[in-house]
């Protein structure tokens, strides 16, 4: 049997519970649900950071944020360090990437100006776009595509309105003015299909497909918007908090974009419907990629992996976007569909982004990453271990000049100031899965608090680097 191909699909800002197979009662995701039925789903996978660039740097390097030092914006020198892509390339794979990498800071110019950077990371072939909002300023294959069809002005007028104009409330944002086939995520999916169709069969391939959505703006075309009736959408969990509010949550609430305090039930349902419509758009793109693998008789020798860089609060706790340690922002999809389509079903084993990377290394037979705290989940994929993997996962958040760190075990979640190690939040996840009751000041939880801080968190931060602060 030849070595397997790998297609690693990464969405942007997608929470783990926004798919049918994850139990969402309204999400329309038949293609991802089919992959889940044929694969292994890790319902408790956590991002290394609820911020785009730090999370992506971790997935590339196999390092936690405090190891690679990207707390907020990309470090261009990081590409000269270790890279799981380079290791897979050196193991004899043809490596490619299509879509949004978010491994460099966008500015004026063209994404192709950064092609050498992608080669440095280990990609033999890079067909890069920006994310949706960045296309207002930075050109790419996508804006070239729109310009050739006379659609670039309409696209940029929409984003001028979204980013610099009246900036409507999230629930008021109109759909894209572009036809569906010219939406960014459809374009990225098409790039992936083209790459697979053109790929020579002289060696196995590793392809990353990085979608720009469902990150805001939630601009899916009208035909996708029409799939969801806002009245059918469950309202986000808000509830009444007890205990102190963490500094970073307080900061986000005080500076909430688009005056979120005006978001009532109807507005919350409408913005969620718009978000779901973009999730369904991406699901269709995933289905088209799978069909291309079938058409080339590659599916039976290809691993398909699906995840996201971080989640989206969607109104939970009165918040949108990320930059918090609530489950909506840090719990991400994690799906492995093996070549034979005979996965192990669902598991609630604790895993993180780094474990996905270690597993890609394992599947490809590439050299392991140095000094990485990652652990391959291949034993779980083979059914050798039913539920056990990690005792805890770590996530880190940089809000310069401050930084915060969180550990999540099966039963509890503790967050602390990364510099002083002062505990900030403690939740009993078994009794309070909605994370409404911060127990950090409760004396009856003092022993648990100290255990999580001293025996779980501090050992995981033994090499904390604060130079980036």
Q: What are phi and psi of 131, to 5 degrees?
A: -80, 175
| E-strand stretches of 1-93 | 5-12, 40-42, 45-46
Closest CA to 412 of 321, 292, 291, 327: 327
* Average pLDDT of span 194-208: 96
Q: Residue 366's pLDDT band (boundaries 50, 70, 90)?
A: very high
> pLDDT by residue (tens digit) across 22-56?
999 999 999 999 999 999 999 999 999 999 999 99
pLDDT > 70? residue 167: no
Angle (nearest 5°) at CA 208 between 206 and 210: 175
Q: At what angle do helices 265-295 and 30-37 cross, to 10 degrees?
A: 60
pLDDT > 60? residue 466: no
Closest CA to 28 of 272, 171, 228, 311: 228
Q: How would DSSP label each residue in 157-201?
A: HHHHHHHHSS---GGGPPPPSS-GGGSHHHHHHHHHHHHHHH--S
The three-class DSSP label of residue 88 is: helix
The Cα–Cα gap between 352 and 356 comes to 7
Question: Strand 94-100 relative to strand 40-42: parallel, antiparallel, unpaired?
Answer: unpaired
Q: What is the pLDDT of residue 261?
A: 61
The Cα–Cα gap between 308 and 452 comes to 27
> pLDDT by residue (tens digit) across 344-359?
888 889 999 999 999 9
Parse the chain into domains and list their residue ranges. 5-391
Angle (nearest 5°) at CA 136 between 55 and 312: 35
Tokens of 26: 């309204």
The Cα–Cα gap between 274 and 224 comes to 9
Closest CA to 48 of 402, 280, 361, 311: 311
Determine if residue 404 is left, alpha or beta; phi over 0 gives left, psi from -120 to 50 gives alpha, anything else beta.
beta
Percent of the chain with pLDDT over 90: 72
Highest average pLDDT, of 99-108, 246-255, 388-397, 436-445, comes from: 436-445
Closest CA to 306 of 326, 329, 283: 283
Measured in residues, the chain has a length of 469
Contact 207, 200 (CB under 8 A): no
> pLDDT by residue (tens digit) across 261-278?
667 899 899 999 999 999
Q: What are phi and psi of 162, to 5 degrees?
A: -70, -40
pLDDT > 70? residue 260: no
Residue 99: strand pairing partners:
128, 210
Q: What is the pLDDT of residue 462?
A: 67
The Cα–Cα gap between 321 and 214 comes to 11
* Average pLDDT of span 172-195: 96
Percent of the chain with pLDDT over 70: 95
Contact 197, 355 (CB under 8 A): no
Stated pTM of the model:
0.94
Instruction: State the architecture of 5-391 in CATH terms.
Output: 3-Layer(aba) Sandwich (3.40)
pLDDT > 50? residue 469: no
222-259 as b/e: b if 16+ CB within 10 A: eebbeebebeebeebbeeeeeeeebebbeebeeebebe
Sheet with 392-399, side-by-side order of all strands: 392-399, 402-409, 412-417, 423-428
């Amino acid at each position: 049997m030849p070595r397997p191909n790998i297609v690693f699909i990464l969405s942007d800002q997608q929470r783990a519970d926004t798919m049918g197979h994850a139990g969402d009662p309204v999400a329309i995701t038949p293609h991802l649900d089919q992959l889940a039925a044929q694969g292994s789903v890790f319902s408790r996978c956590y991002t290394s950071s609820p911020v785009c660039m730090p999370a992506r740097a971790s997935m590339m390097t196999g390092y936690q944020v405090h190891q690679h030092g990207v707390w907020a914006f990309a470090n261009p020198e990081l590409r000269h360090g270790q890279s799981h892509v380079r290791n897979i390339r050196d193991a004899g794979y043809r490596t490619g990437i299509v879509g949004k990498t978010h491994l460099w800071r966008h500015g004026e110019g063209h994404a192709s100006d950064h092609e050498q950077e992608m080669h440095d990371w280990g990609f033999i072939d890079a067909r890069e776009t920006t994310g949706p909002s960045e296309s207002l300023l930075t050109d790419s294959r996508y804006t070239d595509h729109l310009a050739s069809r006379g659609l670039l002005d309409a696209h940029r007028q929409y984003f001028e309105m979204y980013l610099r104009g009246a900036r409507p409330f999230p629930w008021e944002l109109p759909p894209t003015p572009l036809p569906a086939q010219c939406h960014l995520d459809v374009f990225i999916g098409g790039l992936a299909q083209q790459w697979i169709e053109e790929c020579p069969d002289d060696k196995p391939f590793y392809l990353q497909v990085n979608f720009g959505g469902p990150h805001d703006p939630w601009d899916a075309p009208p035909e996708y918007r029409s799939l969801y009736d806002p009245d059918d959408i469950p309202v986000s969990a808000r509830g009444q908090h007890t205990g102190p509010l963490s500094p970073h949550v307080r900061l986000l609430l005080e500076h909430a974009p688009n005056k979120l305090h005006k978001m009532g039930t109807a507005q919350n349902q409408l913005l969620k419907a718009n978000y779901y419509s973009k999730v369904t758009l991406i699901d269709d793109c995933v289905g088209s990629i799978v069909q291309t693998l079938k058409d080339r008789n590659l599916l039976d020798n290809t691993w398909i992996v699906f995840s996201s860089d971080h989640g989206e609060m969607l109104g939970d706790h009165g918040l949108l976007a990320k930059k918090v340690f609530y489950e909506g922002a840090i719990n991400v999809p994690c799906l492995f569909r093996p070549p034979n389509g005979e996965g192990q079903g669902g598991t609630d084993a604790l895993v993180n982004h780094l474990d996905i990377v270690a597993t890609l290394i394992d599947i490809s037979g590439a050299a392991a990453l140095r000094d990485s705290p990652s652990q391959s989940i291949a034993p779980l994929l083979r059914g050798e271990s039913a539920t056990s993997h990690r005792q805890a996962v770590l996530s880190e958040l940089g809000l310069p000049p401050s930084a915060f760190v969180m550990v999540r075990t099966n039963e509890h979640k503790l967050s602390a100031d990364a510099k002083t190690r002062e505990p900030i939040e403690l939740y009993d996840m078994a009794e309070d899965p909605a994370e409404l009751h911060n127990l950090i000041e409760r004396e009856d939880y003092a022993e648990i608090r100290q255990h999580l801080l001293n025996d779980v968190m501090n050992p995981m931060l033994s090499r904390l680097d604060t130079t980036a602060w």
